[in-house]
Amino acid sequence: MQKILNVALANRSYPIAIGENLLSEFQHFKLKQGQRVLIVTNETIAPIYLQALIDMLENNGVKTDSVIVPDGEKYKTMETWNIILTALLANNHTRNTILIALGGGVIGDVAGFAASAYQRGIKFIQVPTTLLAQVDSSVGGKTAINHPLGKNMIGAFYQPQSVVIDLNCLKTLPQRELSAGLAEVIKYGIILDEAFFNWLESHIEDLLNLEVNALSYCIYRCCELKAQVVAADETEQDMRAILNLGHTFGHAIEAELGYGNWLHGEAVSVGMLMAAHTAKLLGKLTINDIERIKNLLIRAKLPVKRPTQMSVESYLPHMLRDKKVLSGQLRLVLPTKIGHVQVLDGIDKNVVFESIKLT
């Protein structure tokens, strides 16, 4: 069973293909015989999927090179970005080359950013292999690298030419990574779709067990919701900020503890609860909704308690470097009920500190 979804961005529109065994199906990559590609992947993914992808592409007349970079959030850096650019230059790739990002969110982000910069922009294809990348980071054109002072602060909005989501890749995904992806899945229900949140409450174990029909529906719905937001606000001038529920708190955890010590989805899980507590303190969310969110996160095997090694005060410097900050004032995405959020600014830091203490 295969599904195709279109991200509607005028002349930058592109398809998202979702299904099983898609890595063996050439048509989803939107490539032509004689084209050159550089496949970017990491040390974990390469032994599992790289050769099969190379064989499929070369059997269809595509000339391939590949570059393998270290695995992990801590390698989403300028150094890794430079490794990719060096591979493009060393192999004499031109503006007609297409870069393929084969891996999770880190690979998609850093490879996409390299594509945006090489010879002022070459095309690229997202082939996400983690649930988090499949439902979130591969869609929408956000590309970036991290800096010790802030996550995703250096990057570009740069759309892929296609996204190929092979459900079979999830069979090799560690349980912890699968749960991390579910944090972003649950986020969509909280911010945009109460009916989807209700569905997740009934099917979260099916997703953990990799039940194909549940996965297919879940990933399609998440991509559909994100595509709608991206089409309305591609460069995050307004509405797209809602996709960052929990991220301002979560990015603080990632930056303070060192990238990779908490997975992105784990930090977002706790961050969403901190945002929920902030909304409750402001009289905008009921305790019943907080409990529903918390219980679903627990069932998804995600953390719901803040890291003990971080002081409450240590969050604020990171949060004030968040891209949503305006004129030095915190802006937070806060849930007002399941399926609806608001972006609020000017929130008192003592309210933020109290919400962190409650988590």
Query: Which residue among 73, 224, 234, 236 is the active-site one?
Result: 236
- Look up the CATH number of the domain holding residue 302: 1.20.1090.10
Residue 302 burial (10 A CB sphere; 0-12, 13-18, 19+): buried
Asked about 277 being catalytic, the answer comes back as: no
96/225 same-domain check: no
Residue-wise pLDDT for 24-43, tens only, equals 999 999 999 999 999 999 99
Mean pLDDT of 159-185: 97
Residue-wise pLDDT for 181-192, tens only, equals 999 999 999 999
Query: Which residue among 76, 221, 251, 318 is the active-site one?
Result: 251
Tell me: pLDDT of 106 over 80.
Answer: yes
- HSE, side-chain direction, 13 A CA sphere, residue 101: 34
102/159 same-domain check: yes
Asked about 264 being catalytic, the answer comes back as: yes
Query: Which residue among 93, 123, 221, 240 is the active-site one?
Result: 240
Question: What residues contact residue 12 under an 8 Å CB cut-off, 6+ apart?
Answer: 159
What percent of the chain has pLDDT above 70?
99
CA pair distance 248, 269, nearest whole angstrom = 12
Number of Cβ within 10 Å of residue 85's Cβ equals: 18
Mean pLDDT of 302-321: 94
Which domain-ending residue is among 126, 149, 171?
171
Which domain-ending residue is among 102, 137, 171?
171
Number of Cβ within 10 Å of residue 95's Cβ equals: 10
Residue-wise pLDDT for 267-287, tens only, equals 999 999 999 999 999 999 999
125/179 same-domain check: no
Q: Show the DSSP H helices in the chain as ranges.
A: 51-59, 78-90, 105-117, 131-132, 175-192, 194-208, 212-232, 247-257, 264-281, 287-299, 315-319, 349-357
User: CA torsion angle for 153, 115, 46, 34 (degrees, to 10)?
Assistant: 170
Asked about 194 being catalytic, the answer comes back as: no
Mean pLDDT of 165-169: 97
Query: Which residue among 28, 93, 151, 264 is the active-site one?
Result: 264
Mean pLDDT of 213-221: 97
Number of Cβ within 10 Å of residue 202's Cβ equals: 9
CA distances, 99 to each of 88, 129, 160, 179, 210 (Å): 9, 16, 9, 29, 29
Asked about 203 being catalytic, the answer comes back as: no
Mean pLDDT of 196-218: 98
Which domain-ending residue is among 138, 171, 204?
171
39/60 same-domain check: yes
Query: Which residue among 76, 93, 123, 142 is the active-site one?
Result: 142
Domain that holds residue 235: 175-357
Query: Which residue among 11, 92, 120, 350 is the active-site one?
Result: 120
pLDDT given at position 326: 63
146/224 same-domain check: no
Residue-wise pLDDT for 123-159, tens only, equals 999 999 999 999 999 999 999 999 988 888 899 999 9
196/161 same-domain check: no
Query: Which residue among 73, 184, 224, 234 is the active-site one?
Result: 184
Query: Which residue among 226, 277, 318, 331 is the active-site one?
Result: 226
Query: Which residue among 221, 247, 292, 318 is the active-site one?
Result: 247
pLDDT tier for residue 301 given thresholds of 50, 70 and 90 = very high
Q: Give 126-156 as a DSSP string.
A: EEE-SHHIIIIITSS-EEEEEETTEEEEEEE
Mean pLDDT of 330-349: 93
Query: Which residue among 73, 93, 244, 266 is the active-site one?
Result: 244
Tell me: pLDDT of 307 over 70.
Answer: yes
* Residues listed for the chain: 359
**Count of domains observed in the chain:** 2
pLDDT given at position 327: 59
Tell me: pLDDT of 61 over 70.
Answer: yes
Range of weakest confidence among 28-32, 92-96, 296-300, 324-328: 324-328
Residue 73 burial (10 A CB sphere; 0-12, 13-18, 19+): buried
- Reference 17, options 235, 143, 169; nearest CA is 169
At 295 the three-state DSSP class reads helix
CA pair distance 136, 222, nearest whole angstrom = 7
19/155 same-domain check: yes
139/247 same-domain check: no
Q: Which of 132-146, 196-210, 327-341 has the highest mean pLDDT?
A: 196-210
The reported pTM is 0.94
66/85 same-domain check: yes
pLDDT tier for residue 237 given thresholds of 50, 70 and 90 = confident
Number of Cβ within 10 Å of residue 74's Cβ equals: 15
306/320 same-domain check: yes
- Look up the CATH number of the domain holding residue 114: 3.40.50.1970
CA pair distance 307, 223, nearest whole angstrom = 30
CA pair distance 306, 332, nearest whole angstrom = 18
91/222 same-domain check: no
At 162 the three-state DSSP class reads strand
191/75 same-domain check: no
Tell me: pLDDT of 251 over 90.
Answer: yes
Asked about 142 being catalytic, the answer comes back as: yes
- Reference 186, options 292, 323, 342; nearest CA is 292
Asked about 321 being catalytic, the answer comes back as: no
Tell me: pLDDT of 313 over 90.
Answer: yes
